[in-house]
Amino acid sequence: MATDERVYDNVLQALPSAENPTPLVRINRLNPVPGFTLFAKLEWMNPFGSVKDRAAWFLLRDMAERGVLTERRGVVEPTSGNTGISMAAMAAVLGFRMRAVVPNRVPLEKKVLLRIAGADLDVVKDALCPSPGMGEGAINLAKTRAKAEGERYAMPNQYENELNAQAHYETTGPELWRQTRGGISHLFVTLGTCGTATGCARFLKEKNPAVKVVAIQPSEGHDVPGLRNVAELQVSRLFSPELLDEILEVDFELAYTGALALARQEGLLAGPSSGLVLEGARRVIERETTGLGVMIFPDNVFKYLSAMVRHLPDLAGGTAP
Amino acid sequence: MNKYVHPEMLVTTEWVFQNLGTPGIKLVEVDVDTQAYDAGHIPGAVGFNWQTQLQDQVTRDILDKPAFEALLGGAGISSRDRVVLYGDNNNWFAAYALWLFKIYGHKEVCLMDGGRMKWLNEADRPLTTQVAPVTPTPYSAKAPDASIRARVQEVLKGVRQNLVDVRSIDEFTGRILAPPGLSETAQRAGHIPGAKSVPWSSAVRADGTFKEMDELRHLYFVEAGLEPSLPTIAYCRIGERSSHTWFVLTYLLGLEHVKNYDGSWTEYGSMVGLPIERGADKKIPAATM
């Protein structure tokens, strides 16, 4: 192994850390205020393709080290895709089984990727007429499997497990601090399990309480896989509003046009959640005019081709002879 | 202490836990998500599939008497058993099944308060994938009790009655036809003229259990303005959420003459020429907006 030369004994060694961070890339054409320096942290450069590598590894490693996972007992986890893909691939490396429980609205690309990564798949119907506290189908089904078949499944539960936030406290936060040489003034994140927002905010504010953490949420009724707006956050025990300086709501359609703009103007093949973050960051920059901001771009666009075409039908034009 | 008019119609998760395996007590799980039972259920419970076992498979209708008898007898349930129903989505289809049990005159049947989710989230409540062995038994149902089932003609009668629309606000106002992703829908959106909007979920707490009597009385009689002395019809989309409200009105609040309109919006909203209202009802309780 020679990590400085990026030569590894196995793929798990390529997971990120302050010494092996995911890249920061400066936004140029899409930055409306040149006096405000804006970077994107490209989380799809993680070995399994998304920001979720970080939490997935902390959760899985903990269960493996504690002996919870065995040849007979694998992992069951509710996921909107990325955590499951990371966890399934990591579990395969370690020799454990993985069952992913996903809501039906998860894009087909992610469901197929889960199967490619070796996960067994449960697909549950989406919430019909949700009521506060009713829980979500995927979370409830994963809990059911872990409880009914405890000898076959253990559930790390990314929505409630503090190690999810800890992963960002120990990796993403220190990376951001080091990569900006302590100069970061704004962090722009989306909310899902809230692990990224909570873990990064905790670390950065310990270093410099003046760092502003801005969460960008899609408008209600949104169709941006993996994200939640605040009304949908009751399932996450990691949501820490006291660590957020602002929660900005952005029309969810801008997630898709933003992703397209990022590809066409910055050469960044970012997914729709990154498009949403960009729009939120632009609004803050126009207001504040100076600073050094970093946007967390959770994953790239490859898993959202069907969603992109659904929202931007012109993309399908010219794709047939 | 609960002060419901018919407290015997509810049991707690603790009561169920203490009575696991007690002869004469039969547990039945009925879920919206039909894969939930197979993934794990309370030991000893049988599972009914609402799509394939609780309705006629050809005509749009509830099970007829012979089919209901075959279902219960095949599940080893006798007419003397005390049946405890529970399910996901805060007992939507468990309440629907209870309504069906009452139509066919089953004497002792109740809901597990909080349903499947409460059991799932409590420590040390067991779940299993094992299907308990069942000894089929003859079951004799009563003639169907039409007094708790409303047909569309009764909705249209024009008599003074309470009409309660228990769907989401967006369905009531006509913004959407049905919650996203559902196959059963209607031709037109809106609500039955004169209906009061009280979404089913207003009756439950965050842990899925029913609210206290005082809160329920305030919700239905003060905020929504139902008149307790009038006959009442509850409806939703296909009759499952309205079963939940029918249960509340009948057994917790003790109203007489409450009916569940199982044709609900998928019938009413598809019929030619019937009047429809759209937009918000001034009496929508603020807490549900």
Among residues B118, B144, B170, the one where a domain terminates is: B144
What is the total count of domains within chain A? Answer: 2
B96 and B162 share one domain: no
Assigned domain for B2 exists: no
In angstroms, the separation between the Cα of residue B141 and the nearest Cα of chain A is: 33
Strand partners, A7: A2
- The three-state secondary structure class of B133 is coil
- Rounded Cα gap, residues A241 and A234, in angstroms: 12
- Rounded Cα gap, residues A224 and B41, in angstroms: 33
**Chain-chain contact of A144 with B179 (C-beta, under 8 angstroms):** no
Residue B14, burial from CB neighbour count under 10 angstroms (0-12, 13-18, 19+): exposed
Assigned domain for A320 exists: no
B101 and B199 share one domain: no
B140 and B156 share one domain: no
Among residues B144, B162, B178, the one where a domain terminates is: B144
- Rounded Cα gap, residues A216 and A236, in angstroms: 16
DSSP letter at B250 equals: I
Assigned domain for A284 exists: yes
Cβ proximity of B233 and B86 under 8 Å: no
Q: What tens-digit pLDDT sequence spans chain A (321 residues)?
A: 556 788 999 999 999 998 899 999 999 999 999 899 999 999 999 999 999 999 999 999 999 999 999 999 999 999 988 999 999 999 999 999 999 999 888 889 999 999 999 999 999 876 655 555 556 788 889 999 999 999 999 999 998 999 999 999 999 999 999 999 999 999 999 998 999 999 999 999 999 999 999 999 998 777 888 787 777 777 788 899 999 999 999 999 999 999 999 999 999 999 999 999 999 999 999 999 899 999 999 999 999 999 999 999 999 998 888
What's the CATH number where B53 sits? 3.40.250.10
pLDDT of residue A2: 59
B213 and B100 share one domain: no
Q: What is the pLDDT of residues B97-124, one digit of tens each?
A: 999 999 999 999 999 999 999 999 999 9
Annotated catalytic residues of B are 236
**Chain-chain contact of A140 with B88 (C-beta, under 8 angstroms):** yes
A191 and A230 share one domain: yes
Strand partners, A100: A77, A121
Assigned domain for B168 exists: yes
Give me the residue label for tokens 């059911």. A144
**Chain-chain contact of A140 with B117 (C-beta, under 8 angstroms):** yes
Residues of A in contact with B168 (CB under 8 A): 129
Nearest to B116 by CA among B88, B78, B139: B88
In chain A, count of helices (H) and strands (E)? 10, 10
Assigned domain for A194 exists: yes
For residue A63, give both structure tokens.
């269960």
Question: How many Cβ contacts (< 8 angstroms) between chains A and B?
Answer: 78
pLDDT of residue A226: 79
- Rounded Cα gap, residues A154 and A147, in angstroms: 8
Among residues A131, A154, A177, the one where a domain terminates is: A154
ipTM: 0.82
Assigned domain for B271 exists: yes
Assigned domain for B34 exists: yes
- Rounded Cα gap, residues B208 and A94, in angstroms: 39
Among residues A154, A188, A204, the one where a domain terminates is: A154
B35 and B126 share one domain: yes
B60 and B109 share one domain: yes
Assigned domain for B20 exists: yes
A122 and A179 share one domain: no
Mean pLDDT of B114-139: 94
B137 and B29 share one domain: yes
Nearest CB neighbour to A133, from listed B128, B167, B207: B207
Nearest to A230 by CA among A244, A243, A217, A240: A217
- Rounded Cα gap, residues B59 and B66, in angstroms: 15
A189 and A114 share one domain: no
* Cα B164 to Cα A130, A199, B168, B229, distances in angstroms: 19, 46, 12, 15
Q: Is A141 on the interface with B (CB under 8 A)?
A: yes
B88 and B218 share one domain: no
A136 and A276 share one domain: no
Q: What is the pLDDT of residues B20-31, one digit of tens each?
A: 999 999 999 998
B195 and B108 share one domain: no
Among residues A90, A122, A154, the one where a domain terminates is: A154
pLDDT of residue B157: 80
Among residues B106, B126, B144, the one where a domain terminates is: B144
Assigned domain for A159 exists: no
**Chain-chain contact of B167 with A133 (C-beta, under 8 angstroms):** no
Give the range of the structural domain holding residue A263, as residue numbers without chain letter: 3-45+165-314
Assigned domain for A319 exists: no
B91 and B215 share one domain: no
A133 and A178 share one domain: no
Assigned domain for B222 exists: yes
Assigned domain for A275 exists: yes
Nearest CA in chain A to B200: A131
Per-window interface: A 75-134 vs B, CB < 8 A: 104-105, 122, 124-129, 131-134
Mutation site, A123, A144, A153, A160, interface B, largest B CB count within 10 A: A144
Supply φ then ψ for residue A47, to 5 degrees: -60, -25
B18-43 as b/e: b if 16+ CB within 10 A? eeeeeeebbbbbbbbbbebbebbbbe
- Rounded Cα gap, residues A74 and A59, in angstroms: 13
* Cα B126 to Cα A147, A148, A150, B136, distances in angstroms: 7, 7, 10, 25
Strand order in the sheet with A98-103: A120-124, A98-103, A74-78, A153-154
Assigned domain for B1 exists: no
Mutation site, A76, A125, A131, interface B, largest B CB count within 10 A: A131
A296 and A169 share one domain: yes
B136 and B165 share one domain: no
What's the CATH number where A56 sits? 3.40.50.1100
Work out the pLDDT band at B281, boundaries 50, 70, 90: low
Global pTM value = 0.86
Assigned domain for A160 exists: no
Assigned domain for B282 exists: yes
B154 and B55 share one domain: no
Supply φ then ψ for residue B54, to 5 degrees: -110, 5
Residue A209: CB atoms within 10 Å? 7
Amino acid at A261: A
A31 and A57 share one domain: no
A253 and A307 share one domain: yes
A179 and A279 share one domain: yes
Could you tell me whether strands A98-103 and A36-42 are parallel, antiparallel, or unpaired per DSSP bridges? Answer: unpaired
Assigned domain for A172 exists: yes
A39 and A103 share one domain: no
**Chain-chain contact of B33 with A125 (C-beta, under 8 angstroms):** yes
**CA B55 from centre of chain:** 14
Give the range of the structural domain holding residue B180, as residue numbers without chain letter: 148-288
Our CA dihedral for A238, A243, A248, A251, rounded to 10 degrees, sits at -20
For residue A193, give both structure tokens.
């399990």
A267 and A300 share one domain: yes
What is the total count of domains within chain B? Answer: 2
A19 and A150 share one domain: no
